Amino acid sequence: MLDEKTAEKSKKVLGELDKKVTLVTFTQEMECTYCAQNVELAEDTAGLSDKISHEVHAFENSEELNRRYGVDKIPALVVTADGEDLGIRFFGIPSGYEFVSLLDAIRTVSTGKHELSDDTVSKIEKLDRPVYIQVFVTPTCPYCPKSVILAHRLAYVSKQITSDMVEAIEFPHLAQKFSVAGVPRSVINEKNFIEGAVPEKAYVQKILDAVN
Q: Answer yes or no: is pLDDT of 1 > 90.
A: no
Q: What is the pLDDT of residue 61?
A: 94
Q: What is the average pLDDT across 141-160?
A: 98
Whether 68 and 49 map to the same domain: the answer is yes
CATH code for the domain of 143: 3.40.30.10
pLDDT tens-digit map of 152-175 = 999 999 999 999 999 999 999 999
35 in the same domain as 126: no
**Of 45, 78, 111, which residue is a domain's last?**
111
Residue 42 shares a structural domain with residue 77: yes
CA 104 to chain centre: 9
- Residues 168-201 have pLDDT tens digits of 999 999 999 999 999 999 999 999 999 999 999 9
Do residue 83 and residue 156 come from a single domain? no
Question: Does 49 lie in the same domain as 80?
Answer: yes
Residues 6+ apart with CB under 8 A from 19: 51, 81, 82, 109, 110, 111, 112
151 lies in the same domain as 190: yes
Q: Indicate if 123 and 149 belong to the same structural domain.
A: yes
Query: Tens digits of per-residue pLDDT, 83-114?
Result: 999 999 999 999 999 999 999 999 999 999 99
In the chain, the amino acid numbered 36 is A
Q: Based on the structure, what is the number of domains in the chain?
A: 2
74 to each of 68, 87, 92, 166, 171, how far by Cα in Å?
15, 16, 7, 10, 9
Q: 168 phi and psi, to 5 degrees?
A: -60, -35
Does one domain contain both 9 and 103?
Answer: yes
Instruction: Domain of residue 188: give its range.
Output: 118-211
What percentage of the chain has pLDDT greater than the value 90?
97
First to last CA, the chain: 43
Same domain, 56 and 137: no
pTM for the complete prediction? Answer: 0.97
